[in-house]
Amino acid sequence: MDKLSSVARFKALCPYLGRTKASTLRTLCTSSSRRYPSLSKLTAKATKCPVMGPALVTRSGQIAQSAGYASVAGVADMQAIHAREGIFTQPGANIAECPHAAAARKAAQMAEDLVKAKQSADANKTTSTQASGCPFPHEAVKDTQNQKSTAFDYESFYAAELEKKHQDKSYRYFNNINRLAAKFPVAHTGTVEDEVTVWCANDYLGMGKNPVVLETMHRTLDKYGHGAGGTRNIAGNGAFHLALEDEVAALHRKPSALVFSSCYVANDATLSTLGSKLPGCIYFSDNMNHASMIQGMRHSGAKRVIFKHNDLQDLEMKLAQYPKETPKIIAFESVYSMCGSVGPIAEICDLAKQYGALTFLDEVHAVGMYGPRGAGVAEHLDWEAHKRAGQSPDAISGTVMDRVDIITGTLGKAYGAVGGYIAGSTDFVDAIRSYAPGFIFTTSLPPVTIAGAQASVTYQKEYLGDRRLQQLNTRALKARFDALDIPVVPGPSHIVPVLVGDAALAKAASDSLLTDHGIYVQSINYPTVARGEERLRITPTPGHTREQMERLVRAVDETFTRLNIPRLAQWKAVGGRAGVGLPDALPITPVWNDEQLGLLDGVAPQMLANGSKAIVDAQAAKIAQDRFTSLLGSISKSLPPYPMSSGSLFNPAPIHMPTPIAATA
């Protein structure tokens, strides 16, 4: 602390000290230089300064002079010093054990290291780097007038950083994949004629091609044009934005909601604003949280405590260390997208109440996919209560979704659009609207995008068939992989992560599936997942056909064999990895049970076959279209006639599958 206090006195004089955080300076003061162990890292840096460098050389001479006598003193001289200081040595003691001699030698070594460090800095520095940020640039130029001036080599820096990514196999390659609305999950590559089947899209329900959504967007585009016109504060706040916010607030049975340009921005803006405003706020963050949540917490400047993934005991132990009156936020997810695990939402709500914390639940990979209305896992946990309540926007007291304080979701995955949102209390949402720079200072989403998103949310609130079929297709694919000993990371959700365990192999497998089999599955490498846990992330949709699944299974099996990728039995033999092949592993219970899927009463949808048509529900389509009558008028171009029956949970008629209409699989 003495060193740091001394340094702090000069922060106003030195640009480097002034802009460097106290925590960084503390580390530099207390850490030794690797190259010059007798110097601190901060002293080694100071030798590169055109002002401090010469001063340190002068100081090194002073140190050497003061250490000179002790470094050359004879035995008699040292004994005289010992007698004067009252120090008596043991027989046979070596002079190296003498604290005075040791201190002198240390001082001499420091002086020598200071000179070496300064000489090294002089050899490497250029005029431009010496003068940069220094309060005495003319002195720097004068001291280096014989050196050649060169600018920083930015391009070499970029190349070196990229080479690091190549070396550790974490460099990201973006494939040219172009989804075909009339044929999705089929897409074409950079060559229009080269068609592939997509098995890793986040458009989980295929709503990006839903005819009700597209028809609504066409009408909106024709009337309101493309862009939003500005930020929400300046010309970019319209009836479509307000209507969508009402829609998602009602979806989660919360008083209010706010739409952002993406859920990355929603998470970042909300968490950074909350953490910076709540006095002494502490975040408790699951160690597998998404990057957007991690960045938001970091940007807030608030303290962050990490708890083990889904580990309630570890979370409680850490919550208990802080007073109940301290503001706390537990940030976690419902469905973790890379491993497919599901958070213990109800139990975390219990801990939050006990220790005085808010709950921040990211339902990004769950909205549209779980619950009778698609509100996410929090709704799904109280299935019957939410089913009975129908489309009422009112909270159901005591349900898990009601107990969660803040819910965030996306419009860019199951809903097939783009954008994100938060939902919660009226004052909370208004506070974020009023303070979050990520909301205030960005152009709002265009009306056409907002309209398509609302049509999608409304449709899925009314129709259960798509998410039922998606879950059934997920079950079928996991069973097929299990039969072939292909290692799937166990999880109760709709994600199918296939473990590879090596970055280069995962990339090779992805490339082979695309080029050799016409199947697009993206490899997932570090830093998205831990090193050694690289995988292929597969996401079935209701639009995948029986034949497409058969082709995928054969292709993955062949690729594993040809590239010699470890199978489940091999992971078991080494004790398992990433949840795969662990000894005494308990069976996983899916979030969706057989009754909710319609398997017990015979109404479960069937997997499509090549050439068959996807289901578009009549009642859900009509309700979605009616949302826009006041803004877009009556529908001038109707979709093909809908059957009067419906697969909605909220239709008083018995539930059964409607007749397929116009959208091809």
Residue type (1 letter), 279:
P
Predicted pLDDT of residue 455: 98
pLDDT, averaged across the chain? 86
Confidence of residue 45 (pLDDT cuts 50, 70, 90): confident
Tokens of 602: 């015979």
* Cα distance between residue 647 and residue 477, in whole Å: 24
Q: Do you find a cis peptide bond into 527, omega within 30 degrees of 0?
A: yes
Cα–Cα distances (Å) from 58 to 9, 113, 116, in that order, read 21, 13, 13
Confidence of residue 649 (pLDDT cuts 50, 70, 90): low
Strand partners, 406: 360
Confidence of residue 229 (pLDDT cuts 50, 70, 90): very high
DSSP character for 90? P
Q: Which range among 54-58, 435-439, 633-637 shows the weakest confidence by mean pLDDT?
A: 54-58
Residue 500 has pLDDT above 50, yes or no: yes
Residue 396 has pLDDT above 70, yes or no: yes
* Cα distance between residue 450 and residue 225, in whole Å: 12
What pTM, to 2 d.p., does this model score? Answer: 0.76
Q: Order across the sheet with 186-188: list the strands.
A: 178-179, 186-188, 195-198, 519-520
The set of catalytic residues is: 413
* Cα distance between residue 66 and residue 68, in whole Å: 6
CB 604 within 8 A of CB 196: no
Which of the residue ranges 91-105, 125-139, 267-281 has the most confident prediction, judged by mean pLDDT? 267-281
High-pLDDT (> 90) share of the chain, %: 69
What is the distance between the terminal CA atoms of the chain, rounded to a whole angstrom? 68
Predicted pLDDT of residue 14: 76
Q: Do you find a cis peptide bond into 137, omega within 30 degrees of 0?
A: no
Confidence of residue 406 (pLDDT cuts 50, 70, 90): very high
Give residue 56's Cα distance to chain centre: 46
Residue 660 has pLDDT above 50, yes or no: no
Confidence of residue 638 (pLDDT cuts 50, 70, 90): low
Burial of 54 (0-12, 13-18, 19+ CB in 10 A): middle
Predicted pLDDT of residue 85: 57
Burial of 210 (0-12, 13-18, 19+ CB in 10 A): buried
- Bridging pattern class, strands 256-260 and 282-286: unpaired
Mean pLDDT of 56-62: 62
Mean pLDDT of 590-604: 95
Predicted pLDDT of residue 132: 47
Predicted pLDDT of residue 42: 75
Predicted pLDDT of residue 103: 54
Residue type (1 letter), 33:
S
* Cα distance between residue 465 and residue 648, in whole Å: 8
